Amino acid sequence: MLAPLTTRARAKVNLSLKVLGRRADGYHELESLVAFAGVGDELTLAPGPELGLSIGGPLGSGLETDERNLVLRAARALADEAGPLRWGRFHLVKRLPVASGIGGGSADAAGALRLLARLNGMSRGEPALLRAAARVGADVPVCLDSRARMMAGIGERLGGPLRLPPLFAVLVNPGVPVETAAVFRELGLQRGQDLSPAGAMPDLVQPSVDALVALLGASGNDLEAPARRAAPILGEVLAGLAALPGCRLARMSGSGATCFALFDDCRASAAAAKALQRSRPGWWVKPTVLR
């Protein structure tokens, strides 16, 4: 019997996010600088004849374990693209909040594809693997390698991996799921509507922390305003982060509701997380490093 395989499904954080328009097919064109956190879910694959999924962990209660789950959808998509696979039973330890703008489900799906690739002797660049990732969800391709890079379009256009300096951060989610579709409805773009092109972010060849924070400060997240209308508590989260001692930047990730704040070092981020957790014990608060 083959030994179980394990991977981490790290949280995806949109350091910046521009909406460039809405296509005639209804999808929105985006441009985003993405980094990955040191916190995430854990996924294990026990090889066997039948495909299945079980879920545990602090945030796993109530999640579906049938074909609606992105882990199983990813496995089925890869089988459709590559032909018969060796697979087995997955077990997901869920530590990331759901519907939270940090790609938890997408990271889980990408983790499933990585494990199946290892089990079946596929390289990370296998075309069938990339096609399966794109079929499952817009954020799944960027989560396959979980490395900082620019992503554009609806997630299908990825820039090369970037060497960003470590960013000491606090991730915060108030426990309110925010549906991406609701945020885009609040954004209110019409089909075919174009916005001014953003262009790729400059000076990303091994930038210093100060240069990167300044660059991020001049950008933003175009989904933040509509997300705050859909979930007003986001204004409270962002204000709370901005007020923490040493906060250099506070911003929402993706379509929310997870927000993040950047600090100069790990001591400052850990102290800020501890203070926020004391004042908001019902919130999900995690100090981490973004890379």
Residue 237 phi/psi, 5-degree rounding, is -60, -50
Distance of CA 103 to the CA centre of its chain: 3
Q: How far apart are CA 224 and CA 79, in angstroms?
A: 37
Q: How far apart are CA 6 and CA 17, in angstroms?
A: 31
Which are the catalytic amino acids?
A: 12, 139
* Other Cβ atoms within 10 Å of 249 Cβ, number: 18
Give alpha helix (H) positions in the chain: 70-82, 104-119, 127-136, 140-145, 180-187, 209-217, 224-230, 233-242, 266-279
Nearest alpha-carbon partner for 43 in 86, 96, 99:
96
Q: Are 7 and 115 in contact (CB under 8 A)?
A: yes
Nearest alpha-carbon partner for 117 in 132, 135, 107, 105:
132
Nearest alpha-carbon partner for 35 in 183, 147, 134:
147
